[in-house]
Amino acid sequence: MTNKLADIKRWRQRLIRLSCLLLPLTASAAPLPHWLQPLLPTDSQTALWVQDSHSGEVLISHNADVLMLPASTQKLLTAVTAWQVLGEDFRFHTRLFTTGNIKNGVINGDIYLQFSGDPRLTRAQLAQMATKLAATGVQKIAGKVVLVGNNDSQWQAPGWVWDDLGICYAAPVSSFVIDQNCVKAVLLQRDKTTQIKPLLPAPISIRSSAYFDPQKQQPFCQLTLQRQPDNHYLLDGCYGGSAPLPLAIAINNPQRYAADIVAAVYQQQFAFNGQISFANTVPASAKLLLDNTSASLSELISEMLLDSDNLIADTLLKQAGQQRFGNTAGFAAGAMTVKETLEQLGISMTSSNLVDGSGLSRYNLLSARQLAQLLQQFQTRPSLQWLIGVLPKAGISGTLQYKRPFNHGPLRGSVIAKTGSMSGVQNLAGFLSGDATQDKNRYLFVVLENGLNPQAEKNKRSFMAAVMPALQQQLQTEANTALSQQSSAR
């Protein structure tokens, strides 16, 4: 009996100690500011984090741990991972090898063109490599032309919306990337029919049964692009306008696209049979002939963040995964590499779900707290501080240059942040200056909204658009009040 009473006493003491630990957490959850309450939408889910970068004090924490679709704010994670894992000296390489010898202008053997997923490799660069080879006296390739890339066949991540896949912002992510795996074209009206004209010659075919409806006689007028095997497409439906319509069509088979382009380029320069084959590796005995290097990693990350470039983000994600797990790595390995990298920086990623590097997947889930902790790393870790300078700047650069209400008024020039937008999602994560010149990047903030009504989105009535001007005004008012009180105390 005595032992039982002692056990009960010990358990009571433990419960009391646990209660004491829990009480401060409850007490520290301050109510939301009075000015914020009217701005919270009733028909969507929102999260808000505001922190004083100088003191570290969290000024507002609303739904900070609720998991939400990050959209392109996820590129912040990709940028850090690429920089940490690949290193500042990293570049993509497109290399040309041969297993034969060159005699009397003939390569007596096979040539291997090794792709690495360079997201900015162009047809013009491939042609330049061929021209350089021809300048050495080569006129004929007697062997095979072999394109080399890894055997990752998952070109789109899980959760990418199927009707996005024909559009260039969802271009396939592969070792084989040429001209961003995207074909620019224009839809033209020809009497009662239409014609699709690529802006540059491209090895794809597009049939069109679409028509123009400038009088808007059809109540449900929309275009549909059907993707068919081997870079064939069918465009049908109607377009409610009269002017030519620009199109940006994503390649659906990057291997076939690369083979067709390389064949065309090489047939202009050399005598060869026109046949292209594929391999996963270059033979150990092959000799390097030419090496085309990409832009630097810092340039690629800057472009990715400034323009929210999905292809750069996902090629960097896959490359980081390959560096960590080996040549067969794909989206899953890249996502795991992101989680590991952020955990090493002290950011708990246990609750998150990461699928890609671009934020295009509808399966990604992050919290405002996780994004805020990452932004804190931007400010406190010297190796990452340069990333702040390449974020879009309100009314001046990148995806915030023309975005309302950031392109005019007090917010212009005062916000630098990564946007994250897709249907039903409007997010922003970055820094707000207390004063445009003397208090740069004073406040760290994360604004997330999911489930946004499409009509509200269309009319620019997102939570982000409402809260950011109010937040800036409130913080300025509080700062002025504090200065006034300090002056009075003197």
Token couple for 436: 């445009």
Task: Note the pLDDT of residue 479.
Answer: 74
318 CB-side CA count, 13 A: 29
Number of H helices, E strands in the chain: 10, 20
Is the confidence at residue 327, as pLDDT, over 60? yes
Is the confidence at residue 368, as pLDDT, over 50? yes
pLDDT band at 79 (very low <50, low <70, confident <90, very high): very high
H helices present in 87-167, as ranges: 123-135
pLDDT band at 26 (very low <50, low <70, confident <90, very high): very low
Task: Note the pLDDT of residue 487.
Answer: 64
Kindly report, residue by residue over 113-172, the tens digit of the pLDDT. Answer: 999 999 999 999 999 999 999 999 999 999 999 999 988 889 999 999 988 899 999 999
pLDDT band at 488 (very low <50, low <70, confident <90, very high): low
| Nearest one of 281, 278, 311, 277 to 294, comparing CA atoms | 311
Task: Note the pLDDT of residue 438.
Answer: 54
Question: Which of the two residues, 392 and 191, has the higher pLDDT score?
Answer: 392
Kindly report, residue by residue over 236-264, the tens digit of the pLDDT. Answer: 998 888 899 999 999 999 999 999 999 99
The boundaries of every CATH 3.50.80.20 domain in the chain are 93-153+255-293
> Residue range 344-359: average pLDDT?
97
Dihedral pair phi/psi, residue 441, rounded to 5°: 55, 40
Question: Which of the two residues, 473 and 454, has the higher pLDDT score?
Answer: 473
Q: Is the dihedral of CA 107, 113, 114, 119 positive or negative?
A: positive
Is the confidence at residue 16, as pLDDT, over 50? no
Q: Which residues pair with 310 in a beta bridge?
A: none
Q: Which residues pair with 101 in a beta bridge?
A: 108
Task: Note the pLDDT of residue 476.
Answer: 83
Is the confidence at residue 351, as pLDDT, over 80? yes
Task: Note the pLDDT of residue 30.
Answer: 59
Is the confidence at residue 393, as pLDDT, over 60? yes
Q: Which residues pair with 98 in a beta bridge?
A: 111, 287
Domain 93-153+255-293 homologous superfamily, CATH? D-Ala-D-Ala carboxypeptidase C, peptidase S13 (3.50.80.20)
Task: Note the pLDDT of residue 435.
Answer: 60
Could you give the 3-state DSSP secondary structure of residue 242?
coil
> Residue range 100-111: average pLDDT?
93
Is the confidence at residue 5, as pLDDT, over 60? no
Is the confidence at residue 216, as pLDDT, over 90? no
Q: If phi over 0 gives left and psi between -120 and 50 gives alpha, with beta otherwise, what is residue 237?
A: left
Kindly report, residue by residue over 269-323, the tens digit of the pLDDT. Answer: 999 988 899 999 999 999 999 999 999 999 999 999 999 999 999 999 999 999 9
Task: Note the pLDDT of residue 219.
Answer: 81
CA distance 74 to 357: 7
CA distance 312 to 294: 12
pLDDT band at 427 (very low <50, low <70, confident <90, very high): very high
Task: Output the average pLDDT for the chain.
Answer: 89
Q: If phi over 0 gives left and psi between -120 and 50 gives alpha, with beta otherwise, what is residue 164?
A: alpha
Token couple for 427: 């997010």
First to last CA, the chain: 68
Question: Which of the two residues, 51 and 6, has the higher pLDDT score?
Answer: 51
Structure-token match 């030519």, residue found: 244
Domain 33-89+297-489 homologous superfamily, CATH? DD-peptidase/beta-lactamase superfamily (3.40.710.10)
Is the confidence at residue 27, as pLDDT, over 80? no
pLDDT band at 13 (very low <50, low <70, confident <90, very high): very low
Task: Note the pLDDT of residue 88.
Answer: 95
Kindly report, residue by residue over 29-69, the tens digit of the pLDDT. Answer: 457 889 999 999 998 999 999 999 988 999 999 999 999 99
Task: Note the pLDDT of residue 478.
Answer: 77
Task: Note the pLDDT of residue 449.
Answer: 97
> Residue range 190-199: average pLDDT?
84
Inter-axis angle of helices 368-380 and 75-86, nearest 10? 40
